[in-house]
Structure 1
């Protein structure tokens, strides 16, 4: 493979990090938008995250098996095709204004994303000098961070109309007028997701035409583990208290992240009195705070014990969420942006602490921790139920439980002085 071919391959595989990051960070926009267009409760709108994160929970193992048989390039191509199909399905879903159709489309999109995420990191490691593999992974992950900032911004500009009816305005409309309004709102996702699908297909075509090195794992190809053996290994790993606690901590972290960002626009509207579009811009600012927190946190870990930093960030988030509960107005949105800053280091730090000392079992242990992201499918609906039963302020008490458990996990690891923090969500 020539130097030019490696550069092209690296650029294409790096684009995958941007693609799934962009889609995942459109979810907070979709939660607010579909709540309005499909006339949903907060609980129902939270199922946007559930459809996405359940795909991530269910598909990684089937994706790994598919790639074991057909290669990583085959897995990437299938992932991109699934992703594009899911994006195209938004067009008919909007035409019939069916929320179940939207959720099915999202599940297809993130089934494809699960294939992409399973393949991307191993590919980056072989596309160049092994001594610079860590640098390449971090470079590629930076595009995931860029997508996290651009997704809400693009969604706020091209999807949200900025027009939300009050109960009185809705009651004053005739059924035909209300139906026209809701149809127009639903249709605003059609063109953006059509464009996303076309761009993804272009990337799939370019990857299809580009020679990519195949990754061969000698151990994986020479030893076929049966299901009973795999279950025995999982059972053995789950007896390790630090790993078990780490899986639970990751469950709570991803759930808190999904819920906090997913209801951000609704919170800004109800508590701070912001209009829909300005609220989306505050959401974009919050994702920039997250990215700033990730970079600054990584820098601080050179001088501060990462475990102590994790514990301090958990305490800060608990304090901020309590403050948010008791106060009202725009300051609470600023405080919520602070929460996104302090939760930024949690995924990679919890991940690194959890796999510490697993040795040859690190690969399987890592898979179990990644499966903990099902928290993103679980915590937001709980927040939605709380919001529907009371109000959005009470819903934001739920993440306090999440960060409190992560604080407990951090305290059990205080003896750890140094830590190699990996990239992650």
Structure 2
């Protein structure tokens, strides 16, 4: 695109409405799969490095601190630069921003090799921070880029589809990562040495994708206008409320996921052992992936409603068959019922992103009340089904929050990515409530407050007011 062309999620130029962006979207979607895959590998690294360095559990958990801390600090640095020097992504373009993020992430992966060679846990944490810094830059550039690649009414659908591929990455990472790191690639490598080749392979893959992005004919969307320093993005009320909403969503989702294994082990809930509880945890995260595919279809800009129903019916049938073959009829039927509930709430939202977000959050509030005060399988499946309704929330909130921001879109993106730190703040609060009250069930009232706010944002807070005009 010409340097003087400005593409805006809210008011794209004529060619943005007619150009076929399917090819670029397929290319960019690989990024979402890769950072989902890499992020979930942390769950494999924690026990591996705890064993290799003889760490206490809290020390091993610093892996998550180093990783998610980068989201906050790099996003904060990005925002400071945009305020004082002008928005970096707007200067170099979204495409080049994605390439920078991939290269930085690849450097972080490469640093795993010397970290293992020197047998230094501190070096590992530093490498993780650099790796996550690259992923943070990717998030700042790629999320708004996907939203811009096409008509604005389909932005939520496109982000849901890319986030579904992100969830696929988190689903397959434990299987592949466990094989590569714990197992079988090089029997001669033990302890920390076993991470060398897998992460060098990831570095090579990231660099290959960076090269592909570089040579691919992706629209290099940017503005030729003068980019002035300042914090104009913060003048938009719907963005400020969206930042809080992302904080609440990520915090609520991670809080629930972090407490599920202990919840399933409670005698009054299911009395499962750790292995059995982990089996049901997969339903929670897998539900998010299925729900995002549903969201991508339901919130798309196509007017062919019957086509949407056929596509969602096909996904439902596939999920039912796979669950029946893997787990049996009982669990397959339960999940089928939960998917039917998800579909009914989608219908209630009339496939409107903001309205659907509000109704999904309201449904999660009800499910959390059941989780808090019911027992047995009712409480267990109520909390598992939250994954299905979490599905559309992050991409939908993100899309609503950056709507109409024009040249301030990437600055707003950095603030929204910074709000992911909610995943580091809210789980300890829920844990503290459980410790103080001695009741893990009651502690689910903490994420319930988060979803009440998300419900408000979906029904009202997303609206653009005139004060920032």
TM above 0.5: yes
Is 1:146 aligned with 2:168? yes
In 1, distance between residues paired with 2:364 and 2:389? Answer: 5
Which one is further off, 123-132 or 137-146? 123-132
Q: 1:7 to 1:31 in 2, by over 3 A?
A: same
Of 108, 111, 118, 1:89 maps to 111
- The structure 1 residue matched to 2:78, chosen from 27, 50, 62, is 62
Which residue does 2:445 correspond to in 1? 400
Secondary structure in structure 1 of the residue aligned to 2:95: helix
Deviation at residue 264 of structure 1 after TM alignment: 6.0
- Residue of 254, 263, 279 corresponding to 2:250: 254
- 1:100/1:400 CA distance change after superposition, 3 Å: farther
CA distance in 2, matches of 1:28, 1:77: 26
Q: Match of 1:172?
A: none
Report if aligned partners of 2:243, 2:401 keep a CA contact under 8 Å in 1: yes
SS in structure 1 at match of 2:347: coil
Report the counterpart of residue 126 of structure 2 in structure 1: 104
Q: How does 1:253-272 map to 2 (within 5 A)?
A: 253-261=249-257, 272=272
What is the TM-score with the length of structure 1 in the denominator?
0.69
Alignment counterpart, residue 224 of structure 1, candidates 228, 238, 252: 228
1:147 counterpart SS class:
helix
* Cα gap change, 1:90 to 1:381, in 2 (>3 Å): farther
Query: Match for 2:218 among 199, 212, 217?
Result: 212
In structure 2, relative to structure 1, the CA distance for the partners of 1:87 and 1:200 (3 Å cut) is same
Paired residues of 2:254 and 2:423 also in contact (CA < 8 A): yes
Q: Does the aligned pair in 2 maintain the 1:316–1:342 contact within 8 Å? A: no
Q: 1:262: Cα distance to partner? A: 5.2
Q: 1:78 aligns with which of 72, 97, 100?
A: 100
- Equivalences for 1:24-423 in 2 at 5 Å? 24-60=39-75, 62=78, 65-124=87-146, 136-160=158-182, 184-218=190-224, 221-226=225-230, 230=231, 234=234, 236-237=235-236, 240=237, 246-261=242-257, 272-275=272-275, 282-296=280-294, 299=343, 300-304=345-349, 306=356, 307-320=358-371, 337-348=384-395, 350-351=397-398, 363=409, 367-380=414-427, 400-410=445-455
Aligned partners of 1:159, 1:331: CA distance in 2, in Å? 37
Q: Alignment partner of 1:214: what SS?
A: coil
8 A contact 2:367–2:382 mirrored in 1: no
Secondary structure of residue in 1 paired with 2:199:
helix
Structure 2: runs of 5+ lacking an equivalent: 2-19, 184-188, 299-342, 350-354, 464-469
RMSD: 4.5
In structure 2, distance between residues paired with 1:208 and 1:33: 35
CA contact (8 A) 2:164 2:293 kept: no
Check whether the contact 2:160–2:293 (CA below 8 A) recurs between aligned residues. Answer: no
Instruction: Mark the runs of 5 or more structure 1 residues left unpaired by the alignment.
Output: 162-182, 420-425
Q: Is the 8 A contact 1:289 1:338 kept in 2?
A: yes
**Following TM superposition, by how much is the alpha carbon of 1:25 offset from its aligned partner in structure 2, in angstroms?**
2.5
Structure 2 distance, partners of 1:379, 1:105, is 25
Q: Which residue of 1 aligns with 2:27?
A: 12
Deviation at 1:413, TM superposition (A): 6.2
Measured after TM superposition, the shift of residue 399 of structure 1 is: 5.1
* Number of aligned residue pairs: 378
Partner of 2:16: none
